[in-house]
């Protein structure tokens, strides 16, 4: 079928002023769209054919344009679309009521542009429902043994142009009038409610569904779906007075939406009150898509999710599954304001929507679903996570220029998603949460239905009566030092114990010591510090200086801790004596220091030690206190650093020393003591009624590590439980859902083909998406290189049973297995061209490269990455920046082995003999 493009409505409005001469036709050299004409209204009609052998689309689009200056050229986006010949392309001037002759027509496939010079020409060029998970695509599922299809969309960031010719930039908003064709037994959905249904005169088995006009919106949040799904209304009837809330799934999965149907309206209402701005649409539909490239997409009024991010079985899903669902759902709800109501002008300011969606997700869930204890996880899930990326010379700023289209996908990394919320949290901390909230409301009201840049945000915040705060500079000056600069500072505190003062300095923190960089950035840093966690003191390091001298409120024998609760986006190092005082306090009574700060101290000390700016023995001595630690965040921080050491030492004799020290002193003395207090019961992987969410989460990570370290009791119990499941495959209670992932992984890692084959069989047969995800991870835990290689090959085989959406998960999971790390890297290099085609957008390839490169540490790895980065294996696709970061990580790992390995090895050797931790 052919796609019919009709620029049918072309309004010519010349702005006042001196008229410019029309540009020559047809050459256009930029990759961004010009602003000579702007879209105001789209009338789009699409008919997808959803059946084996015919996945084509027939359609027509009329675009009303406003001409902002005289021009003889119209430039818009188009990709992989065929225009019907014979009147397929028409332009009208409504002012003069005449058809405008078309002199030229150029399709630039590289830049995905359609350039029209305003002699009628026709061009035979088709469109179809692809299976690449982008644009207007098809996904399949099996219902009662029958394979069925759904037509759905994923337009963000630059794939609306694959569905219809359009002005596909976020700042070019317009009103959309959507009409979708469908067979009578299917249902169609779009962003707005259905207006009317009428018969398709050409196809008796088809009808047209016309939807209400949208509000002004960007192309990337437009959506349409044609399916046989079934919908359920939210039971929260009193919350549906203004907005109808429904979930849609394949029919057999409807019961798994109950939690989402309850949570969704509550979250929506919370943010309506928080922003003091009502959600402007009359409905929200949430769809669980069987094959979806990302966790979810915030399409205005029609939010799409991967099944694992929307479906929940209270008897079979884990606490981690519930947290993921709540996290993603709330993130998408915030987007209904940050991103949809107010949109960043271009992708260079992606953090304006993703940063706020991530930060406010924690704020909202702490009120709507406090049992998840999300606020207590912020620093480990966001701040400390993104520190690893932002420590690289090849990182990027929150706001940064985009020079070509492929760079857009590379922006969807942890910088906007994690650094964004971490910087916003710091900003709210020194501004005050009430003024911060008022500023957000002002920003949203000022720019609603429009696009914005970061200056619009700073202006709104500056109008909130902030004079009393006595800030050292205006908000824009302070905050652009964080949003426009790459990286983050390490604050070093050198105390003068006699004078009770300290010299506090700043410099950018790098993991790579041997680097060529002439940049010395400075930040406006809000310092907080305390000596008892009862009183918090404040000061600023100015963005015009590298340090200050402070008078301290502490005696020479008192410890002092900066960056209280890790509110600030920076690391802190101290002189060795202050580290010693902190360690003594932790060993004496760690509760005297807040949980956030204990987590921060572990993460800072162990990562600063990687650079040589702090001796490793200082960081290791501090970690001794973990034998008494019971909270989730400090253990999470410790395990992340121990994991790095474990991977760096894995191929050396020191691996066993590290695992002995870790298991003997942290597991035996720490975890067993926790078992006696009912915090962990490792013998049966049990839990008590009333255990908090973080108690369960902490127990889970401790069990995972005990089995990873080869603790016999953990491995034996995991294997026994798994075999009991094999004996009774339909028994869903073989172990608590919270521990299935850890137990299955441990059992497969320490067993043979029979256990691996059973997991594969269960993966292919289960109807619960989160269980599929768990089993796919468990399969990657195998100790058999043959099994791991088979899994990698299946990940690229469309007929293997592994969905396209899960391919990247397979590569990431196998690379997390020390046996599979180099194997995945070699496999990806061998199949690079295919990988680029399999993951053409959505930054999936970049994230994959990021994941598999974490522990590359040989000269061969480095040489192969250099070849890859120089184009030796073909186009880098959307992974250019990720490959550069992989290069830098490999150099960091090689440098660590050269400069730190012997030191760490000797420390482990001495401690394994004399038991310093006892």
Q: How far apart are the two ends of the chain, measured CA to CA in Å?
A: 75
Q: Report which DSSP code applies to 72.
A: S
Cα angle value 318/757/755 (rounded, 5°):
70
- The secondary structure of 346-358 as a DSSP string is SGGGTHHHHHHHH
Consult the annotation and say whether 693 binds a ligand.
no
Compute CA distances 723 → 242, 478, 730, 734, 881, whole Å: 52, 59, 13, 9, 44
Query: Residue 550 half-sphere exposure, CB side, CA atoms within 13 Å?
Result: 23
Give me the half-sphere count of Cα atoms (radius 13 Å) on the Cβ side of residue 458.
14
Which residue(s) pair with 44 in the sheet? 61, 178
Preceding peptide of 157 cis, ω within 30°: yes
Active site residues: 332
**What pairs with residue 141 in β-bridges?**
148
Sign of the torsion formed by the C-alpha atoms of 498, 500, 503 and 508: positive
Nearest alpha carbon to residue 74 among 111, 103, 54, 98: 103
Q: CA-to-CA distance for 853 and 589, rounded, in angstroms? A: 39
Sheet holding 135-143, edge to edge: 135-143, 146-154, 224-227, 187-190
Confirm or deny that 201 is annotated as ligand binding: no
Q: Using an 8 Å Cβ cutoff, are 877 and 883 in contact?
A: no
396 is in an annotated binding site: no
Cα 269 to Cα 262: distance, rounded to the nearest angstrom? 12
Q: What whole-number distance in Å separates Cα of residue 123 and Cα of residue 774?
A: 50
> 348-351: long-range contacts (C-beta < 8 A, 24 or more apart)?
348/399, 348/400, 348/401, 348/402, 348/411, 349/399, 349/452, 349/453, 349/454, 350/411, 350/412, 350/416, 351/398, 351/399, 351/415, 351/416, 351/419, 351/420, 351/483
CA 679/CA 659 separation, integer angstroms:
23
Please give the C-alpha separations between residue 617 and each of 210, 610, 623, 624, in angstroms, as whole numbers: 69, 12, 10, 11
Half-sphere exposure of 427 (CA within 13 A, CB side): 29
Question: If DSSP codes are grouped into helix, strand and coil, which group holds residue 7?
Answer: strand
Residue 823 and residue 792 in contact, taking contact as beta carbons nearer than 8 Å = yes
- Helix then strand count (H, E) for the chain reads 30, 29
CB 257 within 8 A of CB 284: no
Contact 451, 171 (CB under 8 A): yes
Task: Give the Cα separation of 330 and 295 in Å (integer).
Answer: 12
Count the alpha carbons within 13 Å of 688 in the hemisphere toward its beta carbon.
Answer: 10
381: Cβ contacts below 8 Å, ≥ 6 apart: 418
SS3 per residue for 461-517: HHCCCCHHHCCCCCHHHHHHHHHCCCCCEEEEEEEECCCCEEEEEEEECCCCCCCCC
In 3-state terms, what secondary structure has residue 708? Answer: helix
Half-sphere exposure of 767 (CA within 13 A, CB side): 14
* Cα 302 to Cα 223: distance, rounded to the nearest angstrom: 7
Side by side, the strands of the sheet bearing 230-233 are: 230-233, 244-249, 283-289, 302-306, 296-297
Assess contact for 95 and 10: CB atoms under 8 A.
no
Q: Which residues does the annotation place in the binding site for Zn(2+)?
A: 331, 335, 354
Q: Which residues are known binding-site members?
A: 331, 335, 354
């Amino acid at each position: 079928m052919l796609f019919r493009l009709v620029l049918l409505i072309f309004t010519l409005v010349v702005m006042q002023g001196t008229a410019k001469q029309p540009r020559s036709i047809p050459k256009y050299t930029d990759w961004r769209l010009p602003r000579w004409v702007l879209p105001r209204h789209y009338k789009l009609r699409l008919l997808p054919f959803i059946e084996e052998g015919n996945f084509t689309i027939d359609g027509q689009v009329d675009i009303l344009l406003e001409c902002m200056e005289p021009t003889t050229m119209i430039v818009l986006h188009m990709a992989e679309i065929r225009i019907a010949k014979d009147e397929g392309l028409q332009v009208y001037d409504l002012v003069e009521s005449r058809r405008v002759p078309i002199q030229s027509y150029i399709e630039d496939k590289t830049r995905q542009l359609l350039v029209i010079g305003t002699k009628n020409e026709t061009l035979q060029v088709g469109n179809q429902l692809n299976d690449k998970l982008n644009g207007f695509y098809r996904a399949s599922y099996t219902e009662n043994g029958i394979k069925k299809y759904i037509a759905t969309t994923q337009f963000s960031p630059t794939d609306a142009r694959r569905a219809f010719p359009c002005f596909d930039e976020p700042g070019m908003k317009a009103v959309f009038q959507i009409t979708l064709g469908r067979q009578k037994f299917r249902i169609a959905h779009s962003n707005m409610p259905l207006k009317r249904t009428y018969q398709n005169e050409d196809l008796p088995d088809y009808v047209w569904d016309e939807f209400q006009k949208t509000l002004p919106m960007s192309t990337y949040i437009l959506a349409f779906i044609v399916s046989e799904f079934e919908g359920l209304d939210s039971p929260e009837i009193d919350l549906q007075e203004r907005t109808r809330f429904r979930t849609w799934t394949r029919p057999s999965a409807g019961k798994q939406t109950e939690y989402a149907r309850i949570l969704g309206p509550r979250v929506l209402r919370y943010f309506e009150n928080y922003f003091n701005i009502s959600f402007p649409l009359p409905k929200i539909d949430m769809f669980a898509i069987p094959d979806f490239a990302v966790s979810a997409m915030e399409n205005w009024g029609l939010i799409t999710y991967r099944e694992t991010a929307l479906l929940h079985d209270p008897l079979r899903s884990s606490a981690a599954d519930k947290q993921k669902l709540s996290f993603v759902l709330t993130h998408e709800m915030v987007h209904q304001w940050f991103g949809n109501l107010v949109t960043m002008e271009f992708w260079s300011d992606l953090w304006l929507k993703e940063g706020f969606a991530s930060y406010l997700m924690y704020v909202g869930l702490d009120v709507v679903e406090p049992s998840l204890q999300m606020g207590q996880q912020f620093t480990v899930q966001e701040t400390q996570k993104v520190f690893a990326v932002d420590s690289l010379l090849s990182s990027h700023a929150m706001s940064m220029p985009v020079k070509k289209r492929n760079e857009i996908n590379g922006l969807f990394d942890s910088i906007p998603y994690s650094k964004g919320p971490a910087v916003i949290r710091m900003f709210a901390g020194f501004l005050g949460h009430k003024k911060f909230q008022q500023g957000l409301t002002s920003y949203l009201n000022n720019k609603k239905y429009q696009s914005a840049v970061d200056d619009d945000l700073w202006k709104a915040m500056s109008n909130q009566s902030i004079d009393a705060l006595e800030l050292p500079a205006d908000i824009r000056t302070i905050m652009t030092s964080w949003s426009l600069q790459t990286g983050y500072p390490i604050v070093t505190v050198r105390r003068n114990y006699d004078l009770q003062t300290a010299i506090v300095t700043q410099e950018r923190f790098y993991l790579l010591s041997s680097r060529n960089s002439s940049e010395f950035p400075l930040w406006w840093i809000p310092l907080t510090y305390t000596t008892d966690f009862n009183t918090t003191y404040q000061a600023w390091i100015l963005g015009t200086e590298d340090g200050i001298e402070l008078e301290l409120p502490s005696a020479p024998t008192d410890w002092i801790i900066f960056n209280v609760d890790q509110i600030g986006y920076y690391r802190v190092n101290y002189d060795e004596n202050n580290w010693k005082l902190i360690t003594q306090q932790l060993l004496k009574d760690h509760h005297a220091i807040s949980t956030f700060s204990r987590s921060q101290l572990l993460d800072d000390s162990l990562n600063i030690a990687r650079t040589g700016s702090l001796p490793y023995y200082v960081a290791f001595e501090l970690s001794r206190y973990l034998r008494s630690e019971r909270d989730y965040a400090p253990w999470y921080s410790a395990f992340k650093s121990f994991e790095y050491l474990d991977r760096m030492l894995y191929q050396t004799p020191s691996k066993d020393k590290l695992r002995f020290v870790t298991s003997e002193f942290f597991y035996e003395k720490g975890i067993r003591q926790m078992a006696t207090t009912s915090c962990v019961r490792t013998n049966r992987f049990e839990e008590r009624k009333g255990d908090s969410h973080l108690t369960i989460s902490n127990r889970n990570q401790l069990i995972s590590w005990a089995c990873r370290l080869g603790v016999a009791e953990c491995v034996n119990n995991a294997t026994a439980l798994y075999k009991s499941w094999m004996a009774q495959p339909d028994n869903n209670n073989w172990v608590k859902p919270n521990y299935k992932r850890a137990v299955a992984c441990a059992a497969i890692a320490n067993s043979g083909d029979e256990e691996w084959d059973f997991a594969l069989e269960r993966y292919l047969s289960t109807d619960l998406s989160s269980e599929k995800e768990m089993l796919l991870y468990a399969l990657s835990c195998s100790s058999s290189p043959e099994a791991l290689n088979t899994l990698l090959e299946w990940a690229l085989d469309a007929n293997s049973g592994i969905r396209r959406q899960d391919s990247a998960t397979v590569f990431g999971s196998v690379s997390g297995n020390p046996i599979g790390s180099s194997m995945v890297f070699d496999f990806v290099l061998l199949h690079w061209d295919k990988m680029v085609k399999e993951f053409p957008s959505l930054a999936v390839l970049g994230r994959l490269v990021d994941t598999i490169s974490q522990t590359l540490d040989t000269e061969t790895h480095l040489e192969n990455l250099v070849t890859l980065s120089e184009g030796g294996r073909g186009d880098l696709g959307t992974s250019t920046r990720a490959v550069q970061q992989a290069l830098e990580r490999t150099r960091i790992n090689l440098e660590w082995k050269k400069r730190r390995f012997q030191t760490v090895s000797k420390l482990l050797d001495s401690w394994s003999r004399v038991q310093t931790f006892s």
